[in-house]
Structure formats: C-alpha cells, structure tokens
Chains A and B, each alone.
Chain A
Amino acid sequence: MRDVAIVGVGAHPAGKFPEKALKDLGREAIWNALRDAGLGPDDIQTAYVGNSLGGLLTGQEGIRGQVVLQEAGLGGIPVINVENACASAATALRGAWLEVASGLVDVAIAVGVEKMFVGDLARSISALAADSELELSQMGMQFSASYAIHPKINLKGRMAQYGWTSEDFANVAVKNAHNGSLNPYAQHRRELTVEDVLGSRMIADPLTLYMCSSIADGAAAAILCPLDMAERISERPPIKVAACALRSGVYRFPDDGAEDSVTLTAKEAYEKAGIGPEDVDVVEVHDAMAPAELMIYERLGFCGPGEGPKLIDDGVTTLGGSKPVNPSGGLCARGHPVGATGLLQIAELVWQLRGEAGERQITNSPKVAMAQNQGGLMLGQDSAAYAVTLLQQ
C-alpha cells in the first residue's frame, strides 16, 4: 500500500440554506477543494460521496453522488455512494484513501454532503431517528435522549458515577461555542456563557438545547493522492493520512466489560500510525451532544475514567491549550450536517495543520491531528459505524 496525502480540502458552511439543494451544497465544497489543490474536475479519477438522509429528506433516494458530481462538472469516473449514518463522510474518505493507497488511481475525491432543512423540523428529526435500527426508531427513541441514557453513553449515569455536574457539561458547550464564534464555516457563531447553556430549553435531562447539535445543511470535500506524487500533483503542502480506521458496532451484553468501540477504533488507528494519544496535537471529536466530548477524551486515551472535566478546567483542550479539541466548534457550534460531518472535521484539521485556520488557529504548532466520527445506533447497544482518522504533517 502507498502512503496517501490530502492535497486539497473545501467546505460549504454548516447552517440553514433554504435556497440551496443537496447538489448546490456539494458543488461548492467540491470546487473549494479543487481550487485549494489547484486541480480541475478532469484531474479527479474516482469519487466517494457520503450522504445519509438525502433519500428521506429530499426524495433523491438513489444516485445522490452522481447527481452532486454532475452538478460540479464531474462525470465518467467511478462514483461510489456511501451511507454510514453520521459517519458517512469519514467512510467516504476511507474509500478514496483505499483506492489511492492500493494504486488503483492517483487522484481521488471524498465528498460529504447533507441537506437537513426541508421546512419541516419534525420530518428532519424523524429522518435522523431513521439512522437508528428500525425497531428503535419505530419505538420513538429520540437522538438527544439516547445520549442521556443509552448504556454506552449514559451521560446521566456518569454524573452519578463520577460526580460530573451540569456545569461540567455546560463548560464543554461554552468552549466549543467560543471556537465556533471564530469559524466562518460554523452554523452557530456566537459565544455562550455557562448561564446561557444551563438556562436554555431542556431537551432531555441533563441535556439542554445549547448542549445539543442542531440540524444543518453543509458539505465538505478532500482530494487525495499518493504522498510521493503530491509535489507533482499540487502545490499545496501535503498532509499525510497516517491511519484510516473504520469499525462497525458489535452486539453488547449488559455490563459485559468489553472494550468500547471508540477505544478499539482509536487503538487500531494509533497502531497503524505507530503513535500514541500523547502524540496527538489537535482533535475533532463527534460530540453530537457537547458533554459526550468528556467521555470521548477517555476513549481516545487522553485521560483516565471520569477525568474529562479536568481537561476542560485546566484549559488543555482550548484553542491555546496543549491538545485543542474541536477547534472548529465541534458538532454543536460548527454544526452537524450528518453525512458531511466527518469531512468537515478533516477540512478543519488540514487547515489547522497548515496554519490556515485564521482567528481560531491553534498555537501549539500541530504535527499530528485526529478526527473521531461515529454514527447510527443498533439494537445490540453499540453505534453502527466508528471511524478514527489520523493526519500527519
């Protein structure tokens, strides 16, 4: 397998864009990535297009990738449609990576695109619920509530177990809102205080509105090529894809003591890249509900069980800290257009590694970046898809 580099990234901001269709969002992200790499549509040899809810929400049940690519001026090449719930975009990236790594093609694009605002919030919420196994969505399992009580996340239970407080949860949302306020691609660009977060509407105890990601439109894309050809293909500094780990959930039995799937995915990525958690300089995590970030710290190996709030309190994971987490604002502030999220994370990390992140640029001269993306909920009490990607300067 060849080493692979990312030589171009682009995004469409997350937010509410009533006048834009799926293909408009995708076109803008694709062309931003092409321009970033200094390439044209004819240079792309294969495309993986991640999208999750477009079938239910727009009615375009099939061929969404081809529809989006044609709008951007790409045709004739192999197009692979990728659906993996909220991890669709990370899964698309892995597909593009694999084609380049294997030697099948030299230039591939990964795209993630989602259109969630369709003028009917209940329909969007229902579509999101359909990313859970059917018996769960039919039973009315609500996405935010599942973060509060689902055995594998159980934020409510963790409060009892570790003494985590609502203030600890609000602190995560406040950190990420600050980052998002500096990000032109973010859906929510305003600072929040702890009082704002705790005073916002209750969604599912202990989660208030500002702790939860909202629905969003958005898109992102990345262009990949072999590392040793990167200088010839693009003038942009190549960012090496050091690991692209993807797992699916496993059937969990209550209190079986088995290692968590986020941990297993991260371990696989660390092993492939030959590095450890201490080597990671900047991270984008899948905080569909901001407090989940505290739990993900543990699962990625950044702290021990229950110690997440200390990383926040000590400023370790702020923009100026030694290990900034969610410099983009994360899913709650930057936004969570579900099938685009994994590549919005990648775009942010490439910008941070290149030093191009503007006002939210982190200051620890990052060399190694990590994206953690996951999606879907199964009857076997695990998420459906888990992805961890490592990038290296």
Chain B
Amino acid sequence: MSGDADPAIRTDTLVKRFGSTTALDGLTMAVPRGEVFGFLGPNGAGKTTAVKVLLGLTRPTAGDGEILGRPLGDLTARRRIGYLPELFRYQAWLTGRELLLLHCRLARMPRASHAAAADEALGLVGLSERANDRIAGYSKGMQQRLGVGAALLGRPELVFLDEPTSALDPVGRMEMRPLIRGLRDRGTTVFLNSHLLTEVEQVCDRVAIVDRGKVVAMGTLEDLLAAREVALRLGGLDAAGRAVVAGFGEVREDGEWLFVRGLAEDRVPVLVDALVGAGVRVYAVEPRHESLEERFSALVTRTAA
C-alpha cells in the first residue's frame, strides 16, 4: 500500500514523563493512510497521553513524530484532523447545532460551508431532530454521538476517536461500526483508541497493542492473530497422554479443555492419531484462530494497580 511510504502518523521513540511517572516509554509506530487503526491497551497504558502528544496538546519529553507529513503540534495539520476526546468535553450550555457551528469556526472552515457541514455531521450521527436542544439535556450516548459529529466536521483526513463508544448502549455501539467503516471507505484515516477488544476486532484493519507506554505488538489483524491453536476435550488423560500432547506445542488447560498453541491445521490428524494410540479417548477436537482477547492478555502484563 502506498500509505506505507507516507504514513498518516509516524512516531519515533516518543517519551513522555510526568514527574517520576513514565506515560510513554519510547513509542514507535506508523499508521498508514486510509486505514482504521486500533490503538489498544489496558487502562493506564498511555493511550490518551499518546493521542494528546500526537495532537500537540502535550509536548513529548523526548523523541518526535509527524502527523499528515507535518511536525507534531503543527497548526496547518490540525485543520485536517478531527478529534473526539475521551470524555465529553464540550460546552453543555450550547445547542448541538451551535456547538458544531462553533467548531466549524474553530477549524477555520470557509464560512459558506458551515451550515451544510453542521447538518451533514448531525445527520451522520443521527441527531438532526435534537439539533436545536441544549446539549445539557442530551443523554450520555447522544453527547458522545455529538462529539463524534464534531470530530467529523469538514471531512478531515485523519480522525482520532478516543474511546468513542464508552458511553453508548449496545445498539449505539453497533451503529458506530458502519459509521467508522464509512469513514474508511471515503479515504479517512481513523485512529481508534480503545480497550474494547471486540470493537477493535470488528472495525480495525491494523492494530497496535500498547502496554506501559510501549508498542508490544503491531500489525494487521491477520498478522497478529495468525497463531492457530487446537482445543481438545479428552478422557483418560494420564501422564503418558499429557507427554504426547506436550510434544505438539505449548499447552494450557482451561476447565475440561486443553489448548495446544502453534499447531498447523495439517498436523491435527497426526495429534489425534497419537492420542488414540496412547489410549486417550478423544471427545472433541476444534482447530481455531487465537482471539484478540487471548493475544492481548498474553502480551499485556497486568500490574497490581
């Protein structure tokens, strides 16, 4: 993809310290243009700090980066960027339409385009009916949708969505997915900050998993989840039987299931033959891909906090 040569975002060992706390510890990544990029990590991994540094809201302690080909914090790049902050951060005393018109002015969009841009954004997030109501009277979900609408004003080239579905109910979450895919279809790069694995799995082309301010894995979902495993439900498993299983790969046990990691599909019948030969009764064999959740928990070290 041509985006690789000219990525929407590129960072080089970004470091951000707050006193003795290190929020970003050498963050290096590239986000190709036109993709939905999932930025995944546990709470406190540095996801929001990374977005703030990329937007120029916070200065990095060390390292640097580029956004849409401009240095971090560049004012002209920000004309082409939309941002939904993590929590609702808007003037609740305005009406929905007034807020969008304000952001048209702040984004320095041509005056003649403001009304149409606000209407388009209201339509996209399904708030046209409530456009003239005060935001303070909106439900949390509506406020979040309005925030997404503000981020999409003027069709930006790059959109940062920091936990865009955290306040949405299941229906609202489902509605968000086609919206994000629609952005990709018109060539917008989406940087999706989330700790919701299913959300990321369903809409992202590429994922970076961050932990303690560092990227611990990055790639397309296919690359990341390439590892296959086999789930087995067995009876009469003795030490000899266990030794047979262990010879085929890394084994973990979960209830009555055994999981063998890194086993190619064509080796599955060989494993079954070996087990039967060892006198083990085989009740079920289920070859499967590793889920993002499993990959995530294998990579991310849980801290006591």
Same complex for A and B? Answer no
Residues of B within 8 A of A (CB): none
Residues of A within 8 A of B (CB): none
